Amino acid sequence: MKLHIGGVETKDGWEILNISNYPGVDHIGDISDLSQFADGACDEIYASHVVEHVSQQKVLDTLKGINRILKTGGKLYVSVPDLDVLCSLFINPQASPDIKFHTMRMMFGGQVDAHDFHYFGWNELFMRDYLTKAGFSKIERVESFGLFKDTSDFKPYGFPISLNVIATK
Q: pTM for the complete prediction?
A: 0.96
Question: What residue spans of the chain are helical by DSSP H?
Answer: 59-69, 83-91, 97-108, 124-133
For residue 18, what pLDDT band results from cuts at 50, 70 and 90?
Answer: very high
- Cα distance between residue 131 and residue 45, in whole Å: 14
Beta strands in the chain (DSSP E): 2-5, 14-18, 27-28, 42-48, 70-81, 138-142, 162-168
Which one of 3.20.10.10, 3.30.70.1170, 3.30.420.40, 3.40.50.150 gives the CATH number of domain 2-168? 3.40.50.150
- At 120, the amino acid letter reads F
What confidence tens digit (pLDDT) does each residue in 33-66 have? 999 999 999 999 999 999 999 999 999 999 999 9
Q: What is the mean pLDDT of residues 1-13?
A: 96
Share of the chain above pLDDT 70, in %: 100
The span from the CA of 17 to the CA of 157, in Å, is 30
Judge whether 71 and 40 are in contact, CB under 8 Å.
yes
Stretch 144-148: mean pLDDT: 96
pLDDT in tens, 105-138: 999 999 999 999 999 999 999 999 999 999 999 9
